[in-house]
Structure 1
Amino acid sequence: MTHTTEPDKGAHTRDGQETKGEHTKEGRGRKKALHRRKFLGGMAGVGLASVGAAGAAFSLLTEGTRNKAAAADGSLVIPDLLEGTASDGTTTFTLATQTGTTEVLSGVSSTTSGYNQSFLGPTLKWTKGDTVLLDITNNLDEDTTVHFHGAHVPPKMDGGPQNAFSAGTTWEPTFEVLDEAKTLWYHPHALGTTAKQAVHGLAGMIIVEDDSDTSAALPGDYGVDDIPLIFQCLAVDSAGDIKYDQAGYLTSGLSFPVLVNGTNVDDTTLGFTATKTRNRFRALNASPADIITIQRSDGGTLTQIATEQGYLTEAAEVTTIRLVAGSRAEFVMDVTEDVTLQVVITTGWIRGGSGTFDFLTVSAGGSDSPDDLPSTLNTIDRYDTTDFTARTITLSNTGATMKINGSAGLTMASMAMISTTLGAKEIWTITNASQLEHSFHLHDVPYQLISVNGEDPTGVDLGWRDTYEVVGGGTIVIAMEFTDFADDTYMYMLHCHLLQHEDEGMMASLMVTES
């Protein structure tokens, strides 16, 4: 087909070294001759970010190297599930950053990073109510952090910039899992190096399980009928060098390969042979900037069951699932005949990719007849925001410098700071004063969408979120309640999840203190 465009259980170090602000202790493959991709030169870095410059900044680039490599048999690679070690009521997961090489482009070796491997990381599985400890060693040659994106954890354990730990040291955050069933992910979050480290491969999925009736009724056998899909659209030159900043994105002749679980799918449709009729897919957009839209090649529907922060009130039949950078969604399909899934790439106002790709053929192989999905998946009480504290958060830029409320968060001291108290209920108007695309992410607690560009949310937008699109010149209104955790030293973050924007200053701090 033709393709279109309490007592402190805090982190500490085993070797006694201190970190900044904390004591720290990778069916069948079907080659697609007609896979084609246009490389849409969006804003080449955000220094060109003005309405007048926008049109001039777009250019059509020639196609670059294509990767025909996949798993040995052309099947979807399922990230390893990291086994935790249980002792004295705590489950420990051991991670180590490392560098290596990966063929992001076929036949071309790229220098990459990963957790416990050369690229990406294993999947972690947590259970609500359990106490977990993350034993994370930094084998890079620079500081890093590990942020548990979307998790409701104490700020001291959140993995933000204050939790940076240096090369050769080990960070050991520990906390009780308070989240209900949902799909989270983990990635670096140190000041100025988040894009560099994440695009080179430091990212992995977290699955949170609970004992709810809904969870019991849904597929949950990891790698069998519960399938992770980690999408990345990266910027890579012909030598395999992965770009991450404004200067790199100005390089001529870039390719923007689409990876799924670490495999380039520009010219490859991966295969997954279902052994069950009903299959659950957890989709994560781990791209630095590009927008990912998932759809069926036959135009059929997907049954979405969750947004970033848990189950929807009821299953929703949708034809597309749109994920901005950092966001996630879960959907199920009853596969009684082969289904091919497509991904549509839209550049996020940073020079990036564009195009539609068949990335996965799910072959029918199950003989079971699943029960109907529960009529109700979750109870979501919509906020009455009448008495909520109101704030306005303004996203803007001056050339390549990104700002929140007029401040560029290039250091902790230079960030705008939002101060609130434990138990506070707030309604925020997030105003995009630029013409750039932004992806607004809030640490600590989930939020509800109250309005999107002046319209009431409907459908899946009524679910709980932690990351949401704010278009150029647009506005979203969100509401949240700050629960459980307060600290007068450690802060959460709120920022744009286009990683280049984050590193260029579009980040502010959130201090939650006792009432």
Structure 2
Amino acid sequence: MTHTSEPASGENRDAKGNHRKSMAEKREHGKDIAVRGKGMHRRKFLGGMAGAGIAAVVGAGTTFSLLSGAAKNKASAADSTLVIPDLLEGTTTDSTTTFTLEAKTGTAEVLSGVTSDTMGYNQSFLGPTMKWTNGDTVLLNITNSLGADTTVHFHGAHVPAKMDGGPQVAFSDGTTWSPTFTVKDPATTLWYHPHALGTTAKQAVHGLAGMIIVEDSTDATAALPSDYGVDDVPLIFQCLAVDSAGDIKYDLTGYLSSGLSYPLLLNGTNVDSTTLGFTATKTRTRFRALNASPSDIITIQRSDGGTLTQISTDQGYLTEATDVTTIRLVAGARAEFTMDLSADATLQAVVTTGWVRGGSGTYDVLAITASGTDTPDDLPSTLNTIDRYDTSDFTARTITLGQSGTTMLINGSAGTSMSSMAMISTTVGAKEVWTIKNSTQLEHSFHLHDVPYQLISINGETPTGVELGWYDTYEVVGGGSIEIAMEFTDFSDDTYMYMLHCHLLQHEDEGMMAALMVTDS
């Protein structure tokens, strides 16, 4: 059986949220890489051992042969309890709430019984959840204790370019970076992670990631579950590559090592052979899902094929709660959904390989015990008002995602340094429609800093259902394209730039990143 290493496959959804075939799936008919058998593990790839050969195309003219071992059965019942990330308490003085973070090194068990060198914020692996409120002023004192330069990017946040955490504001070991800004985002789920040049993948896969919850005063927010860790539950998914000694891999050389495993982690716990448990004490429970993987795609579904009620995309509430059977998250993306639990249920994660090498398959990740006795009110009929853009007068641009061997490009330039990046210049108040064209046959995840965007078309098809929400990260399949529209508001700068890039972190580090300068109109 032969698969490309970065499959040109993707799925869209119809108005009911169900998947429809994309152009890449039609082109690659018969090459579905997701193993969807209930209770099966992802495959463990063992270079140099007997098994089925797999061709992995990692760049133009470069092919590697990989070998796979057999999939194993996994536990069918909850073996341990879901770990809820700590909620970071801020200190409010003179109308400013201050949060303190330290990026530090540590150790953790990524593979059961094996110690890995890791990184985390305020702890050994991952970081605490921050809660921000729309309209509040926040100050973050972030100390670097990593022994190397880092940044902290507030992924999805609409903040000044100087405070965005891009590579221009990298800070050295032993120093503290203190960005401050007013929260302008609506109620949504964001996250934070490193964003220095060439080291993003290394630092993020070792554990530098955490969730941000933004709250506001809308009626929808008041009506939805919001008791953190009780009926408002974070789900941080990570698909990693680890050798038998516990060394976490992050680049092409590492991923082509022999003897690798590809564990799936949920809130920092390996769920390869463990289904985590969660007791829902309220009938209606809200889940915030984040795909913090460096490259793989996560699809969330119920093991019984039932529906999830999606309420939010990357950048805030949908217009109305929408029943879907699956929620597909490319690397860096988020979604929120609720479940009304009158009976026990199990959430599954379907993993689809997005980069050079790894396994795909289906995991029973969370066994939910329904113990609530309350009767929740009906969900609001309207969650949000989203005025769809009329792009007839918008400024049009084409952004081309390309490659030269293993070097990744945007508009023909490799963004491995600030000076080598392609530059896009615009002004505050500008309204633009971009065609993001994937000229490679590789999977990409397009992320835009600064402002949210609307999907105008997906591989030539009109978006429907949840695709009509606001995004900052979206899938661009091999040979495909998306059209997105946005308006640049509030912030201008003639020195500091935002980034636009592929959120497959290895592609970002390999050059698929460009700069966005927003100046005063």
The TM-score, its normalising length taken from structure 1, stands at 0.90
Give the conservation status (yes or no) of the 8 Å contact 1:299–1:319.
Answer: yes
Identify which of 60, 74, 85 aligns with 1:79: 85
Q: Which amino acid is the alignment partner of residue 43 of structure 2?
A: K
Give the conservation status (yes or no) of the 8 Å contact 1:61–1:253.
Answer: no
Indicate yes or no: 2:48 matched with 1:38.
no
Indicate yes or no: 2:112 matched with 1:102.
no
Secondary structure at the aligned position of 1:473 is classed as: coil
Q: Deviations over 1:87-145 (max 9, x none)?
A: 01100000001111100001100000000000000000000000000000000111000
Give the conservation status (yes or no) of the 8 Å contact 1:393–1:405.
Answer: yes
Shift of 1:65: 11
Shift of 1:253: 1.4
Indicate yes or no: 2:397 matched with 1:391.
yes
Give the conservation status (yes or no) of the 8 Å contact 2:314–2:333.
Answer: yes
Q: Which amino acid is the alignment partner of residue 147 of structure 2?
A: D
- In the aligned structure 2, how far is the partner of 1:147 from the partner of 1:98? 16
Shift of 1:59: 3.8
Give the conservation status (yes or no) of the 8 Å contact 1:408–1:504.
Answer: yes
Identify the residue that residue 284 of structure 1 maps to in structure 2: 290
Give the conservation status (yes or no) of the 8 Å contact 2:39–2:364.
Answer: no
- In the aligned structure 2, how far is the partner of 1:64 from the partner of 1:115? 34
Indicate yes or no: 2:73 matched with 1:61.
no
Identify the residue that residue 473 of structure 1 maps to in structure 2: 479
Identify the residue that residue 197 of structure 2 maps to in structure 1: 191
The 1:152/1:66 distance shift into structure 2, 3 A limit, reads farther
Identify the residue that residue 221 of structure 2 maps to in structure 1: 215
Q: Which amino acid is the alignment partner of residue 118 of structure 2?
A: T
Identify which of 236, 256, 264 aligns with 2:262: 256
Give the conservation status (yes or no) of the 8 Å contact 1:43–1:351.
Answer: no
Give the conservation status (yes or no) of the 8 Å contact 1:447–1:478.
Answer: yes
Shift of 1:63: 5.9
1:54-453 paired onto structure 2 within 5 Å: 57=64, 59-62=66-69, 74-453=80-459
- In the aligned structure 1, how far is the partner of 2:327 from the partner of 2:360? 16
- In the aligned structure 2, how far is the partner of 1:143 from the partner of 1:133? 21
Give the conservation status (yes or no) of the 8 Å contact 1:42–1:350.
Answer: no
Identify the residue that residue 16 of structure 2 maps to in structure 1: none
Identify the residue that residue 49 of structure 1 maps to in structure 2: 59
- In the aligned structure 1, how far is the partner of 2:84 from the partner of 2:405? 41
The TM-score, its normalising length taken from structure 2, stands at 0.89
Show structure 2 runs of 5+ residues with no match: 1-33, 46-52
Identify the residue that residue 8 of structure 2 maps to in structure 1: none
Shift of 1:61: 1.9
Identify the residue that residue 30 of structure 1 maps to in structure 2: none
Give aligned-pair identity as a percent.
Answer: 76
Shift of 1:38: 1.6
Shift of 1:352: 2.2
Give the conservation status (yes or no) of the 8 Å contact 1:37–1:63.
Answer: no
Secondary structure at the aligned position of 1:138 is classed as: strand
The 1:245/1:388 distance shift into structure 2, 3 A limit, reads same
Secondary structure at the aligned position of 1:214 is classed as: helix
Q: Deviations over 1:409-451 (max 9, x none)?
A: 0000000000000100000000000000000000000000000
Secondary structure at the aligned position of 1:298 is classed as: coil
Indicate yes or no: 2:519 matched with 1:509.
no
The 1:57/1:299 distance shift into structure 2, 3 A limit, reads farther
- In the aligned structure 2, how far is the partner of 1:166 from the partner of 1:65? 44
Shift of 1:350: 2.5
Q: Which amino acid is the alignment partner of residue 41 of structure 2?
A: R
- In the aligned structure 2, how far is the partner of 1:349 from the partner of 1:99? 26
Shift of 1:349: 3.3
Secondary structure at the aligned position of 1:386 is classed as: helix
Show structure 1 runs of 5+ residues with no match: 6-32
Identify the residue that residue 20 of structure 1 maps to in structure 2: none
Q: Which amino acid is the alignment partner of residue 463 of structure 2?
A: P
Give the conservation status (yes or no) of the 8 Å contact 1:236–1:255.
Answer: yes
Q: Deviations over 1:52-75 (max 9, x none)?
A: 76xx6574422699999x99x710
Paired positions, count: 480
Give the conservation status (yes or no) of the 8 Å contact 1:184–1:206.
Answer: yes
The 1:86/1:488 distance shift into structure 2, 3 A limit, reads same
Q: Which amino acid is the alignment partner of residue 465 of structure 1?
A: Y
Q: Deviations over 1:249-306 (max 9, x none)?
A: 0101110000000000011010000110000000000000000000000000000000
Q: Deviations over 1:446-481 (max 9, x none)?
A: 000000000000000000000000000001000000
Give the conservation status (yes or no) of the 8 Å contact 1:67–1:107.
Answer: no
Q: Aligned Cα RMSD in Å? A: 2.1
The 1:203/1:240 distance shift into structure 2, 3 A limit, reads same
- In the aligned structure 2, how far is the partner of 1:242 from the partner of 1:505? 22
